[in-house]
Structure 1
Amino acid sequence: MTEETTASRRSRITPERQAELHEAVLDLLREVGYDALTMDAVAARTKSSKATLYRQWGSKPELVARALRCTQPVALADIDTGTVRGDFAVMIQHSDDAQMAKDTALLRGLAHAVHESPELHKALRDLLVDPEITGLQAMLRRGVDRGEIAPDCKALDFVPHMLIGAFIALPLIEDRPVDREFLGQFCDAVVFPALGV
């Protein structure tokens, strides 16, 4: 399907209605989990037809991935303050503690489903993970171009792993979700020293 066809397919629903639908999907995910989430349940919750849902999103995995994507406060590709530390500060500032707690719980719940559903794994990679990693890599490349980060810094390739690891490890180790305070401390203690900034 071409990008133009996809845009045309999605243009029939207003942004407000789309946000309502996404929130309903996330609420259902929290209530019943991915496996028990059905397009029938989403249609009933949102007073939509299944045909509309399939026309707009094509599949359950894409609907779930797009719903999760809409919770992202800012695209990393859009952040450019002129310094790596400034970019990370904006990224953290735009994070919402309550939303991060909800997203962490949702992603933990989706972890099993990702292993069972190649379609969900692909949708999450294409719509959620890859755009953020691409934005983060661009942010770091600008830091290299400005001379803030050494071009041969071995940590460059591992920054996504560090950040994702923090989101997974903190709830396991301390039984609490990641928040802005923790992210700031983690970047100061781990990410910036590894990058030499």
Structure 2
Amino acid sequence: MVVQDAGTTGRRSRLSAEREHELFEAVLDHLREVGYEALTMDAVAARTRSSKATLYRQWRSKPHLVATALRHSKPVRAAGIDTGSLRGDLVQFAEGACQSAEKDTALLRAVAFAQQSNEELRQALRHVMIEPELAAFHGLIDRAVRRGELAADIPAAAFVPHMMLGACLVRPLIDDAQVSSDYLVRYVDAVILPALRLN
């Protein structure tokens, strides 16, 4: 089976969807165990019973492989969410985002720290994860404007992704508690919608 690789536009993968999923899960498990700096393509190849040449052919480098694995395994994405209302879209995203927050938030925080000193990783994360997610969030806002829910010139609209991500990453630090569906929905109603003048 031939599948489109989620991390690279216009390139085809020779791996089946099942094999890609298995490989990405192994990459993330190893990343959780040893951290980004200690993860090597040799170790990934051994762990996934792959050749290092295959890994480089498919993903070019460790940063691209890690970024694509993170993108592939993300439990919820803004793309594809369209409930017919901006609140419904944000609530659906919030409810999905908390499903594996404890595991994924720690992982994303560790990779975010690593990218501060690794320009290739930073660029890979932007290309594979951040830019597609920002485009999808902008789509949520654009649809709300077209429906007449939201004025086109609301300054806070540009900061919806920042607010949502901030809620996920900061709660464990401030409240010593993991993100929950109830918490994020209350955050949408108490913070994001008022900022957008929708509450």
**TM-score in terms of structure 1 length:** 0.91
| 1:52-76 Cα shifts (integer Å, max 9, x gaps) | 1111111100110111111223431
State the identity %.
52
Aligned partner of 1:126 in structure 2 is 127
User: What are the equivalent positions in structure 2 for 1:40-119 lying under 5 Å apart?
Assistant: 40-97=42-99, 99-119=100-120
Which amino acid letter does the alignment assign opposite residue 88 of structure 2? G
- Tell me: CA distance 1:159–1:173, structure 2 relative to 1, closer, same or farther (3 Å): same
2:149 is aligned with 1:148: yes
> 1 CA distance for matches of 2:169 and 2:101?
12
Matched-pair contact (CA < 8 Å) for 2:98–2:179: no
Give the structure 2 partner of residue 17 of structure 1.
19
Aligned mates of 1:49, 1:24 — CA distance in 2: 14
Aligned to 1:32: 34
> For each residue in 1:92-116, what CA deviation from the matched residue of structure 2 results, as whole angstroms up to 9, or x when unmatched?
333352x221110001111221111
How large is the RMSD of aligned CA atoms in angstroms?
1.5
Unaligned 5+ segments in structure 2 are: 1-7
Q: 1:118-154 CA distances to partner (integer Å, 9 max, x unpaired)?
A: 1111111111111111101110111111111122212
Please state whether the residue corresponding to 1:152 is helix, strand or coil: coil
Shift of 1:80: 1.4
Residue 15 of structure 1 and its aligned partner are, at CA, apart by 0.5
Structure 1 residue 172 corresponds to structure 2 residue 173: yes
Distance (whole Å) between structure 2 residues aligned to residue 15 and residue 60 of structure 1 = 20
Give the TM-score, by structure 2 length. Answer: 0.90
Say which is worse superposed, 103-112 or 115-124, in terms of deviation.
103-112
Unaligned runs of 5+ in 1: none
Displacement of 1:82 in angstroms is 1.3
Matched residues, number = 191
CA distance in 1, matches of 2:70, 2:161: 18
User: Aligned partners of 1:48, 1:109: CA distance in 2, in Å?
Assistant: 25
